[in-house]
Structure 1
Amino acid sequence: MPNIKLMENALPIAPLKIAALDSCKDLGQKVNDYIVQFRQQTLKESLDSPLFSSYQLDNYLVKCNCPRFGSGEAKGLISESIRGKDLFIMVDVCNYSLTYKVNGHLNHMSPDDHYQDLKRIISAANGKAHRLNVIMPFLYESRQHKRTKRESLDCALALQELIDMGVDNILTFDAHDPRVQNSIPLHGFDNFNPPYQFMKALLRAEPELIVDKEHLMIVSPDEGAMHRAVYFSNVLGVNMGMFYKRRDYSTIINGKNPIVAHEFLGDDIHGKDIIIIDDMISSGESMLDVARQIKERGASRVFVCTAFGLFTEGFDIFDDYYNKGYIDRVITTNLTYLPPVAYEKPYFVVADMSKFIALIIDALNHDISIGAVLNPTDKIHALLKKHNESLGI
């Protein structure tokens, strides 16, 4: 565990509590179990001190929910005291599996509904928590992060609203554009990335993978994912390439300009394994078109790594591309809701993020540096060294 020595010598800022909303219950339970495990293994010598009276618990989860009235209106409810607690609220704004009734009609919860529930729980805390922290793996409205015409700036407004409600820290993962934090420059905003978890999951699924310039290459599917690909390729010590999207800016379809073609910039990829890295899969059409073109250029295997697997159009197109040999693995995290059918796919691999989140929460609760968690370079190097030793390289 990073910073374990610092944690053993640091006092928690306040007793820890985690409020996992219904949208994030499974992930919240896993995070809670890891924190329980961490603290049962602690080497602190003064646990009998009153300062540590609620340090080692069997459960840090707070009972909370947002019951709805028949009209569709709701209220936030916290079923136990959180006075003086360091409260972490977890919400998954992309969990479309939850439903509620409006005048007898069934509605699936949208990101707007989840965001409102988050505010309800913050309101139910009533300013009594010692500190409020929001863990929102997929940043609400983060795809609308800049203004190009007369448009709303939803993400920036949401961040400012949360700060105005008393939130101290906002934690997210692989934000579409982390510069949106400029809307709250004097408040806590941390953006974490999962490259270590990607490599760990990929090497577990493909134990014979050779990581060097002759056998592996990183590809960015567009210019927006360049910074992810540059970091990944530098840490792994391999080359990278990129596609850029030629769009038709004269028309708008489904809220965006349609892609006319993908153009590739980079070295020869013939015979190499390729990792395509991006922040999300929405419908998947753009990502899969890139994978098809890579295969047609002679790539050996294609692995898709993405933080958020939204799969808004289902899995049929992924099944088709897998059967045609265009993709070999799709690796995504469990930060957002994944339908049960995803786990049945032969190409699907989950990068579990629960331990990572538990480490972040534990470090912040002790009010110590999270630099080691923010920068996974050393962990990736250690993982590659162990992997190469197993291959005899």
Structure 2
Amino acid sequence: MMTRKLVVCATPTGVELGKKICENLNIIMRKEFDRLKDASPYSLDGSKFAIISHLREYNRRTFKNDDFALWPVTAQYFKSGEVKPVIQASVRGAEVFLIHQSYVPITPIAVRAKMLHEAKTYEERLKLLEQFSRETSVQENDHLAEFYINALKSDGAAHRVFLISPFFANSRQDHRRAREGLTSRTQITLFEAAGVNSLMFVDLHSQSLVGLSRTHSDNFHPTTELVSRFKALYPNYITDFVVESPDAGATKRTEHINEHYLNLPMGISFKSRDYTTVNTVNDIVVTKPELVKDKYAVVFDDIIDTANTLKALTERLCERFGCKGVVAIASHALLSDKGVDNIDELYAKKYLLKLITTDSVSRPPSFAIEHPWYEQVSLAPRFASMIYNIYMEQQVDSVHMD
């Protein structure tokens, strides 16, 4: 094991998650420091203690205390819109973990128009326009992440750069119809060209995407955390709930989760889409409607985007087949366009009880207060454990998400 600096930094969109990861990493480091401080210097534990001591010394030089904080890397913007990452402390020879979130909630066009219409003064409208101008698309966010990777690896001379990007944007475009582009492959290629050494994602839309990377890639599943929160919220789930797959594509994952975590009766739904238009659901077919009558249903999915599928399925289960309510569990809750409005409507009708998701998409604490159906589980403890194990050259099996 080599005593290299351990650096955790973040792109502008990954700052909040990065802070949580640093907090959890500090907890791990303090526990390990206390556990190993009496170990023999000639033992493996003694070597680990020496490494942790060196890391604390690095932190004292940079942050004036023993704890980890986000490394000072910032983005400077020109008036023309050009941008450059600035590394404000040396990362030469360091193991760098870059925290990045591709998707940040964007105010829908209709909501923007309403807010501007309701603004009473010119100054209020100007302030709103400035706020909207700071909202960025997934393409802009990922492009900036490429600049960060290149600055850290090529210009900063980091030893290795690990990109932690929980939600991988464009992951749904992993196969081709007619003359469509494989944007998922293109994005991975761009990360590699920038100099990344390892890619870490959460619940990719297709496991095959791992094979597109020529560098090391990991795909983690937060099933344990999500199901644990569900069981804590609904302790009588064994008698009250059934499992419903939202579509044919999610059947295999739903069967796996149900078999290993819940062992409940399970039904399968099918949806028909118009693939010439994105985010469009034509119809929902429920194969075992008798299962959901007078029961609650739990629905698992990897991504909830506009919530059109969830809305159609929930209304079909509750209005036609007598389901008492639905709990949705998803790794990534994008809730773009009318996603929040769709779920607000379901919650108002008492059709949807909760949406349990992760912080792969960062939202302010006020969001859960304004929308009581929103329940968030943090990925930070697992990522902190993973960073520690990778840095200490230990197996990550024990922290690998199921």
Smaller-chain TM-score bracket: 0.7 to 0.9
Alignment of 1:348 onto 2:374 = yes
The equivalent position to 1:209 in structure 2, one of 217, 236, 251, is: 236
Residue equivalent to 1:37: 27
Alignment of 1:331 onto 2:321 = no
* 1:205/1:215 CA distance change after superposition, 3 Å: closer
Q: Distance in 2 between matches of 1:324 and 1:12?
A: 58
Q: Distance in 2 between matches of 1:337 and 1:314?
A: 15
The letter for the 2-side match of 1:219 is: E
Q: Distance in 2 between matches of 1:129 and 1:49?
A: 24
Residue equivalent to 1:55: 55
Residue equivalent to 1:20: 10
Cα shift readout 1:12-43 (whole Å, capped 9, x = no counterpart): 67331111122111111111011111111112
Higher share in helix: 2
TM-score normalised by structure 1 residue count: 0.83
1:224-373 paired onto structure 2 within 5 Å: 224-235=249-260, 236-248=262-274, 252-253=276-277, 255=278, 258-266=280-288, 268-296=291-319, 297-312=321-336, 313-338=338-363, 341-344=366-369, 345-373=371-399
Q: Distance in 2 between matches of 1:196 and 1:336?
A: 18
Shift of 1:284: 0.8
Cα shift readout 1:170-216 (whole Å, capped 9, x = no counterpart): 001111112122222x421111111111122223333x3333xx543
Mapped contact 1:12–1:367 kept (Cα < 8 A): no
Shift of 1:316: 2.5
The letter for the 1-side match of 2:328 is: V
Q: Secondary structure at the residue paired with 1:27?
A: helix
* 1:217/1:103 CA distance change after superposition, 3 Å: closer
Residue equivalent to 2:225: 197
Question: Which sections of structure 2, spanning at least 5 residues, go unmatched?
Answer: 40-45, 57-65, 108-128
The letter for the 1-side match of 2:301 is: D
Cα shift readout 1:266-289 (whole Å, capped 9, x = no counterpart): 462223331101112111121121
Q: Secondary structure at the residue paired with 1:277?
A: strand
TM-score normalised by structure 2 residue count: 0.82
Shift of 1:49: 6.9
Mapped contact 2:305–2:339 kept (Cα < 8 A): no
Q: Secondary structure at the residue paired with 1:278?
A: strand
Q: Distance in 2 between matches of 1:228 and 1:88?
A: 29
* 1:340/1:61 CA distance change after superposition, 3 Å: closer
Q: Secondary structure at the residue paired with 2:210?
A: helix
Q: Distance in 1 between matches of 2:381 and 2:330?
A: 18
The letter for the 2-side match of 1:90 is: I
Q: Distance in 2 between matches of 1:33 and 1:244?
A: 43
Q: Distance in 2 between matches of 1:104 and 1:282?
A: 23
Cα shift readout 1:324-363 (whole Å, capped 9, x = no counterpart): 1211111111111225553122222111221121112122
Shift of 1:96: 4.1
Pairwise CA RMSD of aligned residues?
2.7
Indicate the larger mover: 12-21 or 63-72. Answer: 12-21
Q: Secondary structure at the residue paired with 2:301?
A: strand
* 1:352/1:131 CA distance change after superposition, 3 Å: same
Q: Secondary structure at the residue paired with 1:306?
A: strand
% same residue: 22
Q: Secondary structure at the residue paired with 1:108?
A: coil
Alignment of 1:136 onto 2:165 = yes
Alignment of 1:91 onto 2:114 = no
Q: Distance in 2 between matches of 1:347 and 1:246?
A: 27
Mapped contact 2:201–2:220 kept (Cα < 8 A): yes
Indicate the larger mover: 239-248 or 173-182. Answer: 239-248
Q: Secondary structure at the residue paired with 2:345?
A: helix
Shift of 1:61: 2.0
Residue equivalent to 1:381: none
Q: Distance in 2 between matches of 1:334 and 1:371?
A: 22
The letter for the 1-side match of 2:254 is: A
Deviation >6 Å, runs of 4+: 102-105
Q: Distance in 2 between matches of 1:276 and 1:369?
A: 32
Shift of 1:166: 2.4
Q: Secondary structure at the residue paired with 1:164?
A: helix
The letter for the 1-side match of 2:359 is: N
Q: Distance in 2 between matches of 1:179 and 1:321?
A: 34
Q: Distance in 2 between matches of 1:27 and 1:15?
A: 21
Shift of 1:103: 12
* 1:321/1:145 CA distance change after superposition, 3 Å: same
* 1:97/1:24 CA distance change after superposition, 3 Å: farther
Mapped contact 1:72–1:103 kept (Cα < 8 A): no
Mapped contact 2:333–2:357 kept (Cα < 8 A): yes
Q: Distance in 1 between matches of 2:285 and 2:243?
A: 16
